[in-house]
Structure 1
Amino acid sequence: MSSAAIQDIDLKEFMSDPYPTLKYFRKNSPIAYVPQLNATLFSKHQDIFICEKNVEIFSSVQPDGLMTKLMGQNMMRKDGDAHIKERKAIFPTVSPKTVKNFWKNHFVEKTNKIIKNIGKKSELEIVSEFSTQVSAEALKLITGLSGMTWMEMDRVSQGMIDGCSNYIGDPAVAKNCEDCTRSIDLHIDAQLKDPNLHDNPSLLSSQLDAGLSMETIKANIKLAISGGQNEPRDAIAGTIGTLLNNDSQLKMIKSGSKSWLQAFEEYARWMSPIGMSPRRIAKDFNYREVYLYENDMIFFMFGSANRDEEI
């Protein structure tokens, strides 16, 4: 373990709402070892900004990490040339130009259809009846898994997220995660038989065109699903819910003085869709008089950095 100051946490309380604890850390212990997580947490924006780029020390490669064990070694768990190769392979799918000229119209079409189906409702549960489906339908397009239902897309995403954050080793959570990854593998195998597979620049077709191995392709699609469903789902619903509870902010958007994009960006800062990024210390290192030792686990707390009072 690192030489950082030891800070104990109430794990249940932290999982429910980490922000009060992280606020305390920023003020009193910006780099802290948390025994309950067996990791050293970085909570200040400047420290994270400096260290996350130093991949020779703060490595994404985590062969013993939960994500790698449960989903395979995807591009987010690789550094240097290996990461760049796979990033280039998916660029035809996720480039700003492709999103603007190809995906946007499909997203709008799917969303309008969902809105039409719920338009006559007098009441609406935003997460389950709207944002979950909007996010899942978009993800079906991006991944190329058109044969998967939007309900199954949401299920497997949540199952993998739960599995990758299962630091207490709950066997039921691990078993469910394995079932979810198995479902994704089966849907990919089925999609490979689709004669129209290469009609659009999906993650599946782009990686096949780039000649990546099937093991790598499946790992990267699981990566896209693990974060690409719950994060947009929660950001869409959260932005809507927050605006409905803050009428003055909503009026600014309706009047045109502020944009929907500004609302989304502020919500994503306030309630970070990606709250944390784990890294492994590749070799012994001293940062600001804190000794970090090879194979120590580091958590860069993005959610905390986005609330840093010094920014």
Structure 2
Amino acid sequence: MSTAPHFDIDVPAFWQDPYPTLARLRKEAPIAFVPQLGSTLLCSRDDIFVSEKQIDVFSSHQPEGLMNKLMGHNMMRKDGDAHMNERKAIFPAISPKTVRSHWTAQFDGHATRILDALRPDGVVDFVQAFALPFSAECLKSITGLTNMRFQDMNAWSQGMIDGIANYTGDPAVEARCHAATSGIDAAIDDMVPVLTRKPDLSLLGVMLQSGMPMESVRANIKLAISGGQNEPRDAIAGTVWALLTHPDQLALATSGAIPWLQAFEEYARWISPIGMSPRRIAKPWTIRDVAFETSERVFLMFGSANRDEKHFNDPERFDVRRDASKSIAFGAGPHFCAGAWASRAMVADVALPAIFRRLTNLRLIDDRPPRIGGWAFRGLLDLPVTWDR
């Protein structure tokens, strides 16, 4: 165990709103052992920004970690050449060029179809009505698992992210995760012969073409689903909510005074959809006066780093005019999110401009505030809205 000071948290309250606790940690104990999570948390941006690049110390390889046990050994849990070889294998599917020339048009088609079907009949939960199906349909295309329903894509993604954040060991959560991975394996089995006969630019298609072992193919498809559904879903709904509660900033985006990408990047800083990434200490190490032992678990708290007062003025405030370039919402080291370009295209190039162009006078419901939760993964649970026909 590290020599970091112990810091107790109220886990349900932390799930409801982690930011007051994270602010206290940054001020009182930026490196702290939290017994309720069984891990040492790094909460300052400077510590995280440096440590994430030190893969010989802060290793992503976690043989006993929840992700390895529940989803298989994917590239996110590998370091060095093992990581880079798999990252290179998937690059043709999610490179900036492929996103621009191939995926963005498909994203636009999904958005148009879903928005065409929407009607402002009373109160509409925008998470369920648009953000969830749009994210899932885009992910079906990117992964190559076009044989599943968008509802399954979302449910299986949620089952996995709940499973890999199940640090309290809830058996029901673990069981749902196993059911999700079994469903994904069955979908992969159905599509392998199809994409072997007719390869395409999907993740499954390019991994099969690369000759990657099937156990790694399965693990990396599950990785793509675990993060590729909830992050765009939560970022779309969350950015819509943030802009609707800041109409002056919405006007800047709709007028073109600031790009939609800037609004998305500020939301991803303000409410980090992926708020934490775990690491394993690979060798004895000391940061300032805190010593770490080999094999202990550390959480890099991205959600805290992105509100670090040393780098962001008035960090608790959402402001699309802010320079968010120091945000590490997509990571900061060799494990920088491989799907970042696709996510930016889905949210900033397609979803946000289409939503505010198509849905006239989109507005929140005064007596129905949205619910939000999570700390390892954080997002709106619902977004009650309406608009004019």
Q: Fold conserved (TM > 0.5)?
A: yes
Structure number having the greater helix percentage: 1
Equivalences for 1:69-88 in 2 at 5 Å? 69-88=69-88
Q: How does 1:143-182 map to 2 (within 5 A)?
A: 143-182=143-182
The correspondence of residues 117-156 of structure 1 with structure 2, limited to 5 A, is 117-119=117-119, 121=121, 123-156=123-156
**Within 5 A, what are the aligned runs for 1:190-269?**
190-194=190-194, 198-269=198-269
Query: Contact 1:132–1:233 (CA<8 Å) still a contact in 2?
Result: yes
Instruction: Name the SS for the 1:6 alignment partner.
Output: coil
Inter-partner Cα distance in structure 2 for 1:291 and 1:184: 41
Aligned to 1:39: 39
Cα distance in structure 2, aligned partners of 1:259 and 1:278: 32
- What CA deviation, in whole Å up to 9, does each residue of 1:208-249 have, x standing for no partner? 111101100000000000010011000000001111111111
Paired positions, count? 311
Q: Do the aligned partners of 1:144 and 1:197 also contact (CA within 8 Å) in 2?
A: no
SS in 2 for 1:36: coil
Query: What is the CA distance between 1:289 and its match in structure 2?
Result: 1.5
Please say which of residues 189-198 and 223-232 is displaced more in the overlay.
Answer: 189-198
Identity of aligned residues (%): 54
User: Which residue matches 1:14?
Assistant: 14
Q: For residue 122 of structure 1, report the CA deviation from its aligned partner.
A: 5.4
Structure 1 residue 167: deviation in Å?
A: 0.7
Displacement after TM superposition at 1:193 (Å): 2.6
* Counterpart secondary structure, 1:242: helix
5+ residue gaps, structure 2, are: 312-389
Supply the distance in 2 between the matched residues of 1:238 and 1:36 (Cα, whole angstroms). Answer: 28
- CA deviation map 1:153-179 (0-9, x unaligned): 000000000000111111111111000
Which runs of 5 or more residues in structure 1 are unaligned?
A: none
Partners of 2:133 and 2:43 in 1: CA distance: 33
| Segment drifting more, 110-119 vs 65-74 | 110-119
Q: TM-score, normalised by structure 2?
A: 0.78
Where has structure 1 moved over 2 Å in runs of 4 or more?
119-124, 195-200
Distance 1:198 1:21 in 2: 51
SS at structure 2 position matched to 1:9: coil
Supply the RMSD in Å over aligned alpha carbons: 1.2
Contact 2:278 2:298 (C-alpha < 8 Å) held by counterparts = yes
Structure 1 range deviating more: 43-52 or 117-126: 117-126
- 2:265 counterpart letter in structure 1: E
- CA 8–191 in structure 1, closer or farther in 2 if over 3 Å, else same: same
Q: Secondary structure at the match of 2:258?
A: coil
The CA distance in 2 between the partners of 1:122 and 1:34, in whole Å, is 44
